[in-house]
């Protein structure tokens, strides 16, 4: 099950990372709102897509114990690359959050996500530099759970648009509706998406994912929980 969970997580992460990189080099793929971001704050758009895509792809391989044990030097360099990616992507995300769609609620939501992303990654880096591998792994799991929001957003949006014609309006992150159509409330709110990412991670780290207390977290199990929890959460009625 752990291998399956890690494989699902990695495939989804690589797909979205490739999509982010494609948006960098193929302008025709960019949605209208994204084209506007490239016109108004291009440096942030480039850094966010590039840094976040890099962190999403690299981070997945950091959570495989066999790869980590067999290629420890590669693990260390990929870890440094991941930190740089988060630093670039998270810093740009703070700038982009100030002009996100749908107003103050999404400004605050995406801004908070960026702050927590940078903070958790910084804590993970701090602990590995001090030699505390146990706390490093815990904070890196938290960091990648937030990185994985890039994947759950793409799961959340089709569900939202299928159950509600438009996700625009106060408190809703992305406008998907048709022109001249009255916006309707989105049944799945952004905070619940972030909570679904963090909930299985928190339960896993506190050792409540099984009948017996878990003393050392298994990252792939946690990430599999992210996928399952998001799918289950989207199936629930508001």
Domain parsing of the chain, residue ranges? 2-235
Q: What's the confidence (pLDDT) of residue 221?
A: 39
Cβ(95)–Cβ(41) under 8 Å? yes
Q: Residue 168 pLDDT more than 60?
A: no
Q: How confident is the model at residue 199 (pLDDT cuts 50, 70, 90)?
A: low
Q: What's the confidence (pLDDT) of residue 160?
A: 60
Residues 78-124 have pLDDT tens digits of 999 999 999 999 999 999 998 887 778 888 889 999 999 999 999 99
> CA-based diameter of the chain, in Å?
58
Average per-residue pLDDT for the chain:
76
Residues 8-42 have pLDDT tens digits of 999 999 999 999 999 999 999 998 889 999 999 99
């Amino acid at each position: 099950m752990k291998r399956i969970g890690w494989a699902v997580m990695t495939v989804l992460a690589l797909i979205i990372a490739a999509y982010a990189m494609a948006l960098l080099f193929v302008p025709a793929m960019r949605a209208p709102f994204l084209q506007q971001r490239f016109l108004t704050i291009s440096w942030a758009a480039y850094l966010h897509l590039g840094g976040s895509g890099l962190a999403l792809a690299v981070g997945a391989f950091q959570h495989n114990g066999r790869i980590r044990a067999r290629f420890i030097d590669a693990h260390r360099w990929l870890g440094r690359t991941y930190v740089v990616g988060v630093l670039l992507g998270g810093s740009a995300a703070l700038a982009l959050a100030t002009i996100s769609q749908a107003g103050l609620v999404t400004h605050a939501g995406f801004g908070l996500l960026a702050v927590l992303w940078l903070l958790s990654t910084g804590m993970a880096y701090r602990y590995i530099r001090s030699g505390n591998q146990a706390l490093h792994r815990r904070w890196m799991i938290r960091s990648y759970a937030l990185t994985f929001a890039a994947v759950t957003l793409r799961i959340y949006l089709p569900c939202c648009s299928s159950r509600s014609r438009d996700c625009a309006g106060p408190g809703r992150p992305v406008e998907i509706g048709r022109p001249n159509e009255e916006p309707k409330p989105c049944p799945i709110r952004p905070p619940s998406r972030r909570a679904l990412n963090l909930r299985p991670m928190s339960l896993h780290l506190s050792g409540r994912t099984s009948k017996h207390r878990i003393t050392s977290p298994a990252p792939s199990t946690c990430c599999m929980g992210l996928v399952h929890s998001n799918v289950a959460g989207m199936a629930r009625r508001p």
